[in-house]
Amino acid sequence: MPRTVGFIGLGIMGFSMARRLIEAGHKVAVYNRTASKAEPLVALGARPAATPRAAAEGNEIVISIVTDSPDVEEVLLGKDGAVHSAAKGALFIDMSTIAPETARRAGQALAAKGIAFLDAPVTGGDVGAREGTLSILVGGGRTDLERARELFDVLGKRITHCGPQGAGQTVKACNQILCALNMMGICEALHLARLSGIAPALVVEALTPGAGGSWALDKLGSRIARGDFAPGFMVDLIQKDLRIVQDAAKRLGLSLEGTTLAQQYFGENQQSGEGRLGTQAMFKVLERAIGKK
């Protein structure tokens, strides 16, 4: 059954996710800070919205996927936020990657207005967003998850209820640790191969099915092998996510040495003007370090 959806945020992930919902037959209103990004979706039948408030108006479900915790608070609860036009009983789903405590605060603020809330960050990169194979990590009530399932099934292949509000973001923080440390392993392995006279593409093909294989080796290792550093997920964004990870770990008294090293590498990308490249650009940091020896 077609649902009425307000969709806020049309970045690398959000654009493809909104397009999938439109192509699945749902009635979607789209908002993006840079309005021109919405034009291809409007051509597919979406309704353009000038503000988050306008995107929420008349819609039973509102999805947001924006950059950081303050952005989520602004588009949902700010002066022109979606909360101001949403009907009582609406369901808001934030699919950004933000701090767990921000998700909990948003959920409490929305509950006071009679609006349900799920934090539902995703993993699977730009490929998963285009193909509808994302993993969706859901925090909030099971009943609200079931209300959203029809839409989630369009966007993702695996939907996991992680616990109460904020739990989805906690599991996403765990994911970002794995992404960062996995990227370090991939970059070190491909440099070892390269310096030994073995083509990185061969290593990716040979090892992806084995015990050392991973989604990142398959998708991002192959990009490294062909010199493709375009972003599926940007260095700047994983650095934001790893700050969230470290804040959560600090509250628990947990030291994350591997994550700290990954942050240093990604920081060197940023210092070299590579913050808007894909996370596989960590390869360049190690390449420069090797060249100095």
C-alpha R_g of the chain: 20
d(CA 258, CA 230): 25
Q: Which residues contact 34 (CB under 8 A, 6 or more apart)?
A: none
Closest C-alpha to 209, from 198, 200, 217, 220: 217
For residues 16 and 18, give the distance between their C-alpha atoms in angstroms, rounded to a whole number.
Answer: 5
Q: Are 139 and 166 in contact (CB under 8 A)?
A: yes
**Is 240 a catalytic site residue?**
no
Catalytic pick from 172, 240, 292, 293? 172
Catalytic residues: 172
